[in-house]
Each structure stands twice: as structure tokens, then as C-alpha cells.
Amino acid sequence: MKRKLAAGNWKMNGTNARLAEITALATAHPAPGVDILICPPATLVVQAAALTADHAMMIGAQDCHPAPSGAHTGDISAPMLADAGAGAVILGHSERRENHHETNDLISEKARAAHAAGLIAVICLGETLAQREAAQTLDVIASQMHASLPDSASAANTVIAYEPVWAIGTGLTPTSAQIAEVHGLLRSLLAERLGAPEAAALRLLYGGSVKPSNALEIFDIPNVDGALVGGASLKSPDFSPIITALESAS
């Protein structure tokens, strides 16, 4: 039975003091009915992993380099993240696609590296507002999905997060019908690529302005297996009700 996933992306937020939010979440959800993943900045991965060693919560990172080691000043490799205690890594977030000009090919290489290191790759994709207005959303999603998913992808080692760029950090969310359309497309493209059973088991997250007030409605949408949450994952009183909403939708 597929476990739903509540994933938090802290982005470039959080110093030592914020680790208390992870402890609070673990205390509030001692035996969660869904998987919980928190992706703090890389500087906190070791400590966050130690804090959650006795809890089902998984700690992840927000990026990795495609190579396992080498002369890449400032970068962090997938084996290093695994060694630090990470179990997953977010890849191809739209902020990285934009700020660091990451291409689908690079994201696919990074995902292959994550898989080789035993990490779950949380691969993000989504259309811009201009693309949605030009009715290009489904084409954009299909090409991002095909090009950023490596051949090593399986339901066990990959999660796909649909995050419309215009919904991230803006308070705007697509309609339920719009989310259902994209998630339905992803599920059928995955079935062509991986076969129906594997496609059915692979978790598809929605991300972009998920908050306690809209979580239940979003988790009710067909083919939504959880959420990737930015701003509302930073504080346990905001993230905790989202976890609870997902549990009740499961």
C-alpha cells in the first residue's frame, strides 16, 4: 500500500535554532500515518538526521551534484548527503532551474546520482504563468517529466512534485481541476514509461502555496499523493495540520 508523503522544503531558511521545529513535529506525530520528509539547508542535515534517528521522519537535502566527488568547489555530492544522514534530495526545483539555469538533462543526471547513492529523488517540475496562459502547460509538463526522469527511476526511489512556478510562495493555487489534469497526465505518462503497477505506486506531490487552510481540498484531488510545502513547513504549528490533513485523506 502506497504511503502518502508530506515533504517540507525549508529552502535557504533555518539555523540551529530552527531544529526545535523538527523536534516539535516528531513529538506531535510520534507514529505518523503518512511519510514525513523535512529538507533543511545542507548545514543542518547532520543534526536534523541525528534528531530524528528514532523517528519515522526522513531528512533530505535540496540539491546535489551529479558527480560523486571531485573538483567542484561549493558543491555537495549525493554520497555525501547519504553519509550525512539524508534519505532523499529535492532536484530540479524551479528556483534552481531559474537561479542556476538547471536543465532537464542536468536534473536527470543528478537524479541518477541520487539513486546510485541510495537517495530518493524528489524531482520537481511545473509551468510558468506565461506557459499556462499560452495553453502550453501539458506540453511543458510532459517534456520536463520525460527529460528529467532518468532510466534508474522507480516508484521506490523517485517522487515527482508538480509545482506551478506561479503558485510557489505567492499564495495562488491552481484550481482542483487544473491540478487533477496535470497529475492525471503525469500518471498516464509514467504508466507508458514504467508500466502501470510502478506508475500507480510512484508518489505524485502537489506543491505551491499549500497551507493548513487548503490542504484538505488539495489532498482530495485524484492522483495527489501528498505535498511539497515551502513556507508552511518552516513552523511546526503550520506543517503539523497539513500532515494531519494528509493522514485523514489516506
Q: Which residues bind ligand PGA (CB under 6 A)?
A: 9, 163, 168-169, 207-210, 228-232
User: H or E element: which one contains 229?
Assistant: strand 226-229
CB 7 within 8 A of CB 205: yes
The minimum distance between CB 248 and ligand PGA, in angstroms, equals 20
Closer residue to ligand PGA, CB minimum distance, 9 or 194: 9
The minimum distance between CB 68 and ligand PGA, in angstroms, equals 26
The minimum distance between CB 124 and ligand PGA, in angstroms, equals 7
Q: The cell 550525512 sits on which residue?
A: 84
Closer residue to ligand PGA, CB minimum distance, 91 or 228: 228
Q: What is the DSSP string of 82-139?
A: HHHT--EEEES-HHHHHHT---HHHHHHHHHHHHHTTPEEEEEE---HHHHHTT-HHH
d(CA 141, CA 6): 22
User: H or E element: which one contains 7?
Assistant: strand 5-9
Catalogue the active-site residues. Answer: 93, 163
Closer residue to ligand PGA, CB minimum distance, 49 or 228: 228
Closer residue to ligand PGA, CB minimum distance, 98 or 220: 98
Closer residue to ligand PGA, CB minimum distance, 6 or 48: 6
- Among 158, 101, 99, which residue's Cα sits nearest to residue 124? 158
For ligand PGA, which residue has the nearest CB? 230
3-state secondary structure 47-85: HHHHHCCCCCCEEEECCCECCCCCCCCCCCEHHHHHHHC
In sign, the C-alpha dihedral spanning 125, 126, 130, 135 is: positive
